[in-house]
Amino acid sequence: MAQESPKNSAAAEIPVTSNGQLEESHEHSYNRDLKRSLSVGLGLAETKITSHGFDSTNEGVVEAGPFPCSSASPKSSVISPSSAAASRLAGQGCDLIVPTGSRAQQKSGPVVLADEVKNPAMEKLELVRKWSLNTYKCTRQIISEKLGRGSRTVDLELEAQIDILRDNKKKYENVLKLAQTLSTQLFQMVHTQRQLGDAFADLSLKSLELHEEFGYNADTQKLLAKNGETLLGAINFFIASVNTLVNKTIEDTLLTVKQYESARIEYDAYRTDLEELNLGPRDANTLPKIEQSQQLFQVHKEKYDKMRNDVSIKLKFLEENKVKVLHNQLVLFHNAIAAYFAGNQKQLEQTLKQFHIKLKTPGADAPSWLEEQ
């Protein structure tokens, strides 16, 4: 049968040995049958292809059965698995050998596709680099403005309001300092009048011939001390309100002004950089720099506009609050001083009631709320 022509036989037979070896003359038939068997449904999990040396007796042997997993690299040629084969290998816990440059990690078990882990040190280094670059640009802008070489953005109306606010703050601080001095001196005077009244009262009891004279002076000094304590209450209330206005309300607005000025310097620094790049040549190297500079300029422009709007709003509310607070406090200060020096005790007490000011009980030995001022 081996000598019969293929044209006369219905199917060509493949002579094999007892161990399944193929004859070299029918190698092309073996390859055709192998492709056909693979297309029918043999996968990597059911087939093992072994390729040994040329002198081996088991050359080209195809064995059916489960594909054994091994941690060692096989000596046979590496076949890149398809997606279906990779899934089946992962299900059996086999190691998957992937080409260099692949994002899959070589590990036992399922194939894991992980993104690159960000390095915290590199992130911190990038933040330091951005901060250094921004500081350099702002410092250069400040020096250029002081030397008269650089241009700066100026909002004339807003700048005028800021200058007036700073000037008023200095004047209010001076008024506050003088009011505190007056309060200290008045407290000393009231304390002296109280001691003098006690001395007159003691002498009134011990000097029978001058009993009435010492008694009149004792009553007068005690009345003056009482009115002085009432006036001190009004002055200290005035000082507390003005102190809140100057050192809290105005100071908070000036802090926003400082942030606005810093945003203005950054805006001008990046604006200057963009103008310099636009004046230079436009080629493949400079166009990305111009685009990046344009983006940074836009970011700082939005920040500058926001801070300018915040300052305008705070200045408006500060002006309204300042007028309201100072109006009430100035009326209090005037009425209290006028009633005290006019000797109108009733009017002086009415003034404190009008502004809801509570005093300590007259005659107390240690008015701690006065000593703390």
Question: Which uninterrupted H or E stretch holds 301?
Answer: helix 286-341
* Three-class DSSP category at 50: coil
pLDDT in tens, 275-329: 888 888 878 888 888 888 888 889 989 999 999 999 999 999 999 999 999 999 9
Predicted local confidence at residue 81, as pLDDT: 47
Would you give the DSSP letter of residue 108? S
What the block records as the tokens of 17 is 């040995």
Q: Note the pTM of the prediction, 2 decimals.
A: 0.59
Question: CA torsion angle for 222, 225, 230, 233 (degrees, to 10)?
Answer: -140
Residues in contact with 318: Cβ distance below 8 Å, sequence separation at least 6, in sequence order: 165, 249, 250, 253
Question: Which uninterrupted H or E stretch holds 63?
Answer: strand 62-64
Q: Which of 166, 350, 369, 327 is nearest to 238 (CA)?
A: 327
Looking at the predicted structure, is the pLDDT value of residue 369 above 90? no
Looking at the predicted structure, is the pLDDT value of residue 11 above 50? no
- Across the strands, what pairs with 22? 16
- Tell the burial category of 140 from Cβ atoms under 10 Å away from its Cβ (0-12, 13-18, 19+): middle
Report the chain's terminal Cα–Cα distance, integer Å.
128
Q: Which of 247, 234, 233, 232 is nearest to 173 (CA)?
A: 247
pLDDT in tens, 234-254: 999 999 999 999 999 999 999
> Alpha carbon of 109 to those of 65, 82, 320, 333: distances in Å?
21, 17, 72, 85
* Torsional sign, CA 75, 78, 82, 83: positive
Residues in contact with 79: Cβ distance below 8 Å, sequence separation at least 6, in sequence order: 44, 49
Please state, rounded to an integer, the average pLDDT across all residues of the chain: 74
pLDDT in tens, 131-176: 888 888 888 888 888 888 878 888 899 999 999 999 999 999 999 9
pLDDT in tens, 214-239: 899 999 999 999 999 999 999 999 99
Q: How far apart are CA 3 and CA 21, in angstroms?
A: 19
